[in-house]
């Protein structure tokens, strides 16, 4: 039993907690048992907000963080709220992955002067060194909503870089040899999909996910015929830029336990099952039209293997295979159809080897490959990264290099390189760092990664001062200066420079947060808006002022808002921009949570590419207005039954007024072309509804009902009002998906135990 004061992280960092806590730990060969007693003045100070699993909300909670290897490189977080809602996460040096989910048990009881938590965590759910547990690290966290207080058993000093390296030691653990860790997740689903044209199809699917942990060190995840029908919709936008839009990964298989694969930032798992590579490269004759064209490739199976040896070598292997995709081409003259392959059978593979070194340093090797059947090209990415820390973790350095390769059957192969380096002081009140990044003009890892642009040389430096123990008004505040210079590498032409001054902090009494930044950007050159290699467009000098304020999210009602003012200097085309947004959160009773968010952008006059005319690059003077509204509702009947709904409406109007020719010196000039700027006007709307109800009827087993609706409306009426657009969007024919899915958790040990009991009863 550990009894005594926890130490505050906030609001008064380093001081003893205002409430007493007691912790006790026991273990056997299968489970770690934790008992936590938290004393209070009376039960009214406890917030028991019901939320979905992995959503803590504003509830009081108890968290247990552990690092079984004691290397401060990876760990686990098991948290229970006062409403007995569970949260589990995977900890690493780069943050926390909340998509980590395992089976464990908890219970909570509330008394007049205390609340008590019990945990039962299977050793099968974590990785640990079976041979030696002497370096097992652990910490205990308590949050009090009434006091706005976060405290830890082993103090967390915010002036020390890192979290896992500040955990305490758990002594007395004996050698543990848990039983076989093998589990199955069979599922069945019924899915009805309706297209905007009214076509409807219903599919009954079945599949199996399997998880096997070998020697409590290596984990194998297999998904046969995966089903991602209930993944949330993407936040689609109208893209005016020359760059691809990157979407979040919302598919559970790819977000759970995959943190090792992105240590060097080269992996983008949305490529698996993404758009076919030749979807937009179909050659048609005069009488042909595209009748069907798949927007995504079908995933056949997925395999994920991760683990860590006793010598500190972590390994990760991710493999996915997608089926061939075909488009159907119809000929109106002959009434015949033909099929065109838009995506061949493709194998995606990612390999990571990560070796722990002295002082939490590491050396990481990465290889991502894409192999396509037939004549389509293959791609490969090889990367190497070294992370270094000194003994006291005061200073750090990071170096990375990557080689991209494309292999063609009928053309010369392509190779590209990128390099990154960073050196900095990472602990203490004063921190600083300098870095450089070089990506040459042939580097391209977009077959299994995401790179919005290449051909870049960038230098950056920053200095920060952070005070975590102010005397009076604040519990924390910070000042910083950030400077960057970017060059178009192949021509060594300057693109953009900025210098940024900023401050942020937290008020001690209210726990409100504020942020303020001022940025100055001298005149620069944009080499990508032109859509032509090595041509550039001059950007005027500008200043940006950013302000944000957040009230305490632990209250039943909280607000946040931000504002950006952009002022252009010495420009005849660009005028000042205004960007703003706010969010409103409220908790109604114990069960209901609502969050409304709205953002608005107004750019009365700026310039952008619109078309080509002969060999001339044509830009247009345009105004842009953009409004984004979203409403999220969450109703938790209990800790096992939850309903979530999200509505989003995105609206943008782009109004072109003038058109110009881009000259060789990057300036815009009038011309005599017969081009009507109004013909490029855009009025675009996207409306989505995502609904998901989940009932966990047994450990790790659930029944879920999902509904997704997507509706798009666009024209060139840039004078139309918001409510007219919303009404027209709702009237449009929409695509929708209705899905019912059941997943059942089968543990091999439970099955084997029941089989033995049945055999014994028959004797």
- Cα–Cα dist 619/663, whole Å: 10
**Residue-wise pLDDT tens digits, 384-422:** 999 999 999 999 999 999 999 999 998 999 999 999 999
**Residue-wise pLDDT tens digits, 102-119:** 889 999 999 999 999 999
- Cα–Cα dist 417/399, whole Å: 14
Using CB atoms within 10 A of its CB, is residue 281 exposed (0-12), middle (13-18) or buried (19+)? exposed
The DSSP letter of residue 360 is: G
- Residue 173: per-residue pLDDT: 82
Q: Retrieve residue 464's tokens.
A: 């920060």
Cβ atoms 151, 698 nearer than 8 A: no
pLDDT at 763 over 60: no
Mean of the per-residue pLDDT values for the chain? 91
**Residue-wise pLDDT tens digits, 242-267:** 999 999 888 888 877 677 887 889 99
- Residue 1: per-residue pLDDT: 43
Return all residues near 205 (Cβ < 8 A) that are at least 6 apart.
188, 189, 190, 191, 225, 227
- Cα–Cα dist 709/692, whole Å: 12
Torsion angle, CA of 367/371/377/379, rounded to 10 degrees? -10
Q: Which of 528, 361, 523 is closest to 456 using CA atoms?
A: 528
Q: Retrieve residue 330's tokens.
A: 């119809």
- Cα–Cα dist 741/405, whole Å: 41
Q: Which of 382, 480, 398 is closest to 431 using CA atoms?
A: 480
Lookup result for tokens 């990375």: 400
The three-state (H, E, C) secondary structure of 460-474, written as one string: EEEEEEEECCCCCCE
pLDDT at 30 over 90: no
Using CB atoms within 10 A of its CB, is residue 553 exposed (0-12), middle (13-18) or buried (19+)? middle
- Cα–Cα dist 649/631, whole Å: 9
pTM of model > 0.75: yes
Domains of the chain: 2-169 (2.60.40.1190), 244-452 (no CATH)
The mean pLDDT value for 276-304 works out to 89
- Cα–Cα dist 704/695, whole Å: 6
**Residue-wise pLDDT tens digits, 170-217:** 888 887 777 778 889 999 999 999 988 888 889 998 999 998 988 777
Share of the chain above pLDDT 70, in %: 97
Share of the chain above pLDDT 90, in %: 69
């Amino acid at each position: 039993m550990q009894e005594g004061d926890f130490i505050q992280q906030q609001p008064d960092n380093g001081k003893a907690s205002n409430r007493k806590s007691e912790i006790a730990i026991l273990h056997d060969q299968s489970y770690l048992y934790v008992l936590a007693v938290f004393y209070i003045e009376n039960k009214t100070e406890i917030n028991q907000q019901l939320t979905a699993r992995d959503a803590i909300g504003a509830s009081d909670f108890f968290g247990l963080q552990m690092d079984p290897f004691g290397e401060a490189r990876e760990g686990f977080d098991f948290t229970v709220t006062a409403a007995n809602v569970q949260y589990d996460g995977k900890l690493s040096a780069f943050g926390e992955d909340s998509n980590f989910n395992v089976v464990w048990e908890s219970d909570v009881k509330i008394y007049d002067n205390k609340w008590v938590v019990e945990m039962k965590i299977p050793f099968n759910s974590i990785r640990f060194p079976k041979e030696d547990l002497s370096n097992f690290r652990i910490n205990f966290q308590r949050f009090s909503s009434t006091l706005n207080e976060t405290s830890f058993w082993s103090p967390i000093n915010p002036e020390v870089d890192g979290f896992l390296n500040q955990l305490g030691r758990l002594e007395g653990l004996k050698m543990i040899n848990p039983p076989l860790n093998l589990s199955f997740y069979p599922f069945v689903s019924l899915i009805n999909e309706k297209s905007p044209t009214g076509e409807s199809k219903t599919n009954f699917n079945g599949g199996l996910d399997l998880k096997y942990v070998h020697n409590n060190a290596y984990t194998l995840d297999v998904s046969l015929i995966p089903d991602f029908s209930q993944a949330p919709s993407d936040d689609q936008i109208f893209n005016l830029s020359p760059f691809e839009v990157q979407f979040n990964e919302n598919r559970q298989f790819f977000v759970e336990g995959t943190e090792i694969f992105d240590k060097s930032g080269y992996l983008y798992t949305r490529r698996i099952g993404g758009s076919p590579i030749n979807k937009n490269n179909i050659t048609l004759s005069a009488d042909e039209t595209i009748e069907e064209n798949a927007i995504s490739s079908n995933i056949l199976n997925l395999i994920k293997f991760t683990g860590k040896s006793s010598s500190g070598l972590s390994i990760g292997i991710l493999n996915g295979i997608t089926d061939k995709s075909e488009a159907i081409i119809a000929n109106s003259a002959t009434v015949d159809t033909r099929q065109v392959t838009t995506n061949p059978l493709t194998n995606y593979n990612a390999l990571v080897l990560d070796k722990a070194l002295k002082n939490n340093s590491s050396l990481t090797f990465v290889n991502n490959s894409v192999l396509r059947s037939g004549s389509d090209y293959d791609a490969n990415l090889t990367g190497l990264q070294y992370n270094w820390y000194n003994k006291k973790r005061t200073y750090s350095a990071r170096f990375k290099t990557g080689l991209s390769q494309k292999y063609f059957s009928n053309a010369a192969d392509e190779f590209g390189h990128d390099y990154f380096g960073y050196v900095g002081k990472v602990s203490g009140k004063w921190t600083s760092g300098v870095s450089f990044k070089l990506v040459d003009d042939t580097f391209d890892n977009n077959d299994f990664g995401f790179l919005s642009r290449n051909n870049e040389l960038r230098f950056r430096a920053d200095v920060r001062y952070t005070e975590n123990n102010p005397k009076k008004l604040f519990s924390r505040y910070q000042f910083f200066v950030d400077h960057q210079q970017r060059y178009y590498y192949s021509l060594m032409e300057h693109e953009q420079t900025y210098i940024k001054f900023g401050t942020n902090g937290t008020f001690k009494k209210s726990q409100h947060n504020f942020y303020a930044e001022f940025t100055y950007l001298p005149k620069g050159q944009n080499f990508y808006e032109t859509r032509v290699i090595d041509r550039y467009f001059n950007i005027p000098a500008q200043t940006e002022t950013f302000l944000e304020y957040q009230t305490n999210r632990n209250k039943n009602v909280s607000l946040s808002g931000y504002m950006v003012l952009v002022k252009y200097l010495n420009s005849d085309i660009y005028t000042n921009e205004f960007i703003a947004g706010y969010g409103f959160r409220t908790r109604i009773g114990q069960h209901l949570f609502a969050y409304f968010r709205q953002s608005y952008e107004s750019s009365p006059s700026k310039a952008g590419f619109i078309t080509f005319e002969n060999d001339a690059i044509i830009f247009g003077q345009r105004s842009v207005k953009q409004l984004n509204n979203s409403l999220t509702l969450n109703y938790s009947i209990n800790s096992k039954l939850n309903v979530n709904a999200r509505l989003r409406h995105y609206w943008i109007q782009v109004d072109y007024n003038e058109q110009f020719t881009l000259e060789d010196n990057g300036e815009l000039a009038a011309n005599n072309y017969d081009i009507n700027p109004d013909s490029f006007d855009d009025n675009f709307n996207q409306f989505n509804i995502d609904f998901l109800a989940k009932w966990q009827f047994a450990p790790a087993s659930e029944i879920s009902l999902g509904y997704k609706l997507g509706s798009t409306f666009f024209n060139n009426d840039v004078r139309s009002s918001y409510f007219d657009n919303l009404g027209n969007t709702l009237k449009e024919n929409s695509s929708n998906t209705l899905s019912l899915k059941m997943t059942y958790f089968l543990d091999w040990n439970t099955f084997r135990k029941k089989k033995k009991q049945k055999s014994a009863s028959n004797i």
